Amino acid sequence: MSVKIRLARGGAKKKPVYRVVVADERCPRDGRFIEQLGQYDPSQEQSLLNFQEERALEWLNKGAQPTDTVRRLLRGAGVWAKFKAKAPAEA
């Protein structure tokens, strides 16, 4: 089972609100997920992003692969740098 950290869409038409979730990659976008890590609201002037940083790091260390969009959000929040600092150097 391959696990992804990705966005699940919610909200009304033309007013998206996303949840950052950990899910099996075979499940549909808005379908079943393992854990909800936070939320992302791009419609606000200052994009709202809040999530559980410790849980995100834990899932990354377990091998969960973030999507490109989630990786960009993690970089903006500084979580990706913490993950890379803890990762062992590849030879």
Region 32-49: what's the mean pLDDT?
87
Check residue 39 and give its pLDDT: 92
Region 48-59: what's the mean pLDDT?
89
Check residue 88 and give its pLDDT: 63
**How far, in Å, CA of 58 to CA of 83, rounded?**
9
User: For residue 46, is pLDDT > 80?
Assistant: no
Region 15-36: what's the mean pLDDT?
88
Q: How confident is the model at residue 87 (pLDDT cuts 50, 70, 90)?
A: low
Q: What percent of the chain has pLDDT over 90?
A: 54
Q: How confident is the model at residue 8 (pLDDT cuts 50, 70, 90)?
A: very high
Taking the CA atoms of residue 82, residue 23, residue 71 and residue 61 in that order, the dihedral angle to the nearest 10 degrees is 20
Ordered structural domains, the chain, with CATH:
3-86 (3.30.1320.10)
**Ordered DSSP codes for 14-82:** TEEEEEEEEEETTS-TTS--SEEEEEEETTSSS-EEEE-HHHHHHHHHHTPEEPHHHHHHHHHHTHHHH
